[in-house]
Amino acid sequence: MFSRSAISAVAGQALRPRRNPLLSPRFAALQKSFLSTETRRAIDKAVGTAPVVLFMKGTPETPQCGFSRASIQILGLQGVDPQKFAAYNVLEDQELRNGIKEYSDWPTIPQLYVDKEFVGGTDIMMSMHQDGSLAKILEEKGVLVPAESSDSSSS
């Protein structure tokens, strides 16, 4: 026979919520180990190659998914200067493809960086494009194609 205290102890355990071991800090630390120091350095360097950097599937000329295509279209509509833009094809490097998600703590690709700061994926870019905040950031950072001056044509 079980004692009353043993029954209470078992009953108390059943009432306490169980912790999901996958959400523990220890598991998170294990999960973060996929990004090697070498890959982190390479991504740091890539993010710094241009004021506007897009990690995407495919290339700007031949995007390999609809989200990458949409991201390129948004940047084009915004008027990003091609001289101030760099794109990296994550399909060419599995370490980059996995590492960039951990680097930004963002689960999807494409990913946009402006002035070395993570902006977001296509959904964020679309929302910012629609509300005007992306145009504001890009203008503040001076990464848009310069508008032609009307003063120079009138002499």
The CATH number covering residue 50 comes to 3.40.30.10
- Structural domains of the chain, count: 1
Give domain status of residue 5, yes or no.
no
For residue 86, pLDDT beyond 90: yes
Within-domain flag for 29: no
Q: Is residue 28 part of a domain?
A: no
**H or E stretch at 94:** helix 94-104
* pLDDT tens column, 54-71: 999 999 999 999 999 999
Q: Is residue 120 part of a domain?
A: yes
Q: What is the mean pLDDT of residues 14-29?
A: 54
pTM equals 0.74
The answer to whether position 86 is within a domain reads yes
- At 25 the pLDDT is 57
Element (H, E) at 138: helix 133-140
Residue 56: which of 146, 129, 121, 150 has the closest Cα? 121
In a domain, 75, yes or no: yes
pLDDT score for 9: 47
Is 70 exceeded by the pLDDT of residue 122? yes
Any bridge partners for residue 112, and if so which?
A: 54, 120
Note whether residue 56 is domain-resident.
yes
Domain holding 106, by residue range, is: 35-140
- Work out the pLDDT band at 45, boundaries 50, 70, 90: very high
Q: Is the distance from CB of 70 to CB of 110 less than 8 angstroms?
A: no
- Asked, for residue 62, whether it belongs to a domain, the answer is yes
